[in-house]
Amino acid sequence: MIKMSRKRLLLIILLFIAFGLASELLIWRAQKSEIFIVIMAPVLTVAHFLENLIPFLKTFSSLQNELALIFPVTLIYFGLVGFWMAKIFTEEGVFKYFAALCLAGFVVFIHWQALSYLNTILST
């Protein structure tokens, strides 16, 4: 296992978080952009689940919803993906590439499932 400095680990995590926050901002700017909705699908699915789980969250305005639900979930989701990607690239040899491929496949699966769920709730 290759030793990774804390600064590099933090930088990778912050890059993934910045990517998630930029995607969320671009959803607000470009209302009909499909690619940003695909990127943010897990976050939007969790936010919808939390709104259904906790009834008073449905009374929030769109800005309050953004700050109370979507912003923290974006930080957590993209921070975890960045953390695991950084940890994977500290491995040596072929295992590093195999694990990165597995993580990428898992993330694609999560986004696909979340997007299909969003399609079902938006079509009703």
Return the domain boundaries, the chain: 6-123
Identify the pLDDT of residue 124: 65
Burial class (CB in 10 A: 0-12, 13-18, 19+), 100: middle
Q: Which of 27-31, 62-66, 79-83, 120-124 has the lowest mean pLDDT?
A: 27-31
Burial readout 57-96 (b: 16 or more C-beta within 10 A, e: otherwise): eeeeeeeebeeebbbebbbebbeebbebbbebbeeeeeee
Q: Is the pLDDT of residue 98 over 80?
A: yes
Q: Is the pLDDT of residue 102 over 70?
A: yes
Q: What is the mean pLDDT of the chain?
A: 87
Residue 110's Cα: distance from chain center in Å? 10
Query: Looking at residues 73-86, what average pLDDT do you find?
Result: 91
Q: Confidence band (pLDDT; 50, 70, 90) for 1? A: low
**What's the pTM value of the predicted model, to 2 decimals?**
0.84
Query: Looking at residues 76-104, what average pLDDT do you find?
Result: 91
